[in-house]
């Protein structure tokens, strides 16, 4: 049986029991052309980019997802090497109300200019230290332990700006047809994932291929 690579989330379940694992297909032979409908799918209708001059790669993720945690180190190294016409973004998902605190955590850290420093530490806190960062109070306590001012963090966490980004992220999930994480959307046209591709490494190879397809569609 293949290693689990994907977390699907069921609407209406409790936060603690929200996910089930879809068993990944056997890894595809590396170096072969990615197969539509198997290793990636089309987004219908295509979605616009914030900056039309760039090719957007969007990772949809959930901090508490073990597969997102496993994918993160390889994804980070891959993202560092992206060409200048590609922009990498992260979007935290919300499949039910229990996910919202971690969405707010991401956008609060972003608003405070701390996302690069602390994004990986959130995964570490949840998956290595086994902290339950699923309420505003627990998240604020954790943020204070990272050296952030509790009041400033709390104000940002409850701010209109963070709320607006949470709402936009949730709308994006629907527009992109996100039904599990981790998932990569490329150029507003294609979606792949470790589950679809067979492994995290193969998903990134597929993403490279799809970036080139998106570049060709722009006439570059």
Residues 6+ apart with CB under 8 A from 13: 96
Structure tokens, 26: 């056997």
Q: How far apart are CA 192 and CA 24, in angstroms?
A: 13
Q: In this structure, are residues 174 and 164 in contact, taking their beta carbons and an 8 Å threshold? A: no
Separation between Cα atoms, residue 94 and residue 115, nearest integer Å = 19
Q: What is the pLDDT of residue 8?
A: 56
SS3 128: coil
Extract the tokens encoding 4. 């689990």
| HSE (side-chain half, CA atoms, 13 Å) at 196 | 26
Domains and CATH numbers, the chain: 7-217 (3.40.30.10)
**Band of residue 219 on the pLDDT scale cut at 50, 70, 90:** confident
Q: Where would I find the H helices in 28-186?
A: 66-80, 100-111, 115-127, 136-145, 150-157, 160-176
Question: Which of 92, 98, 88 has its CA nearest to residue 14?
Answer: 98
pLDDT at 135 over 80: yes
Name the pTM for this structure: 0.86
**Residue 27 or residue 128, greater confidence:** 128
Q: Is 108 exposed, middle or buried (0-12, 13-18, 19+ CB in 10 A)?
A: buried
- Between CA 43 and CA 172 the distance in angstroms is 12
Exposure of 157 in the CB half-sphere (CA atoms within 13 A): 20
Condensed to tens digits (0 to 9), the pLDDT of residues 21-59 reads: 333 333 344 457 898 899 999 999 999 999 999 999 999
Residue 218 has pLDDT above 90, yes or no: no
Of residues 219 and 73, more confidence is placed in: 73
Query: Order of strands across the sheet with 180-181?
Result: 19-21, 7-9, 180-181
Which two three-digit tokens encode residue 156? 């940002």
215 within 8 A of 87, measured Cβ to Cβ: no
Tokens representing residue 40 in the block? 């990636």
């Amino acid at each position: 049986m293949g290693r689990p690579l994907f977390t699907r989330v069921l609407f209406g379940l409790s936060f603690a029991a929200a996910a089930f694992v879809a068993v990944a297909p056997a890894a595809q032979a590396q170096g072969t052309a990615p197969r539509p409908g198997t290793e990636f799918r089309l987004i219908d209708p295509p979605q616009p980019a914030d900056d039309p001059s760039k090719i957007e790669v969007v990772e949809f993720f959930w901090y508490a997802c073990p597969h997102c945690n496993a994918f993160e180190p390889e994804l980070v190294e891959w993202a560092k090497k992206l060409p200048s016409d590609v922009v990498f973004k992260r979007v935290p998902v919300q499949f039910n109300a229990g996910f919202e605190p971690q969405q707010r955590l991401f956008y609060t850290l972003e608003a405070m200019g701390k996302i690069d420093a602390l994004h990986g530490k959130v995964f570490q806190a949840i998956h290595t230290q086994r902290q339950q960062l699923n309420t505003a109070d627990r998240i604020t306590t954790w943020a204070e332990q990272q050296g952030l001012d509790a009041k400033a963090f709390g104000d940002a966490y409850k701010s209109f700006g963070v709320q607006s980004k949470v709402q936009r992220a949730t709308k994006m999930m629907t527009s992109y047809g996100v039904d599990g994480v981790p998932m990569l959307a490329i150029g507003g046209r294609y979606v792949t994932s470790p589950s679809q591709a067979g492994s995290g490494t193969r998903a990134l190879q597929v993403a490279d291929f799809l970036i080139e397809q998106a570049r060709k569609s722009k006439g570059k």
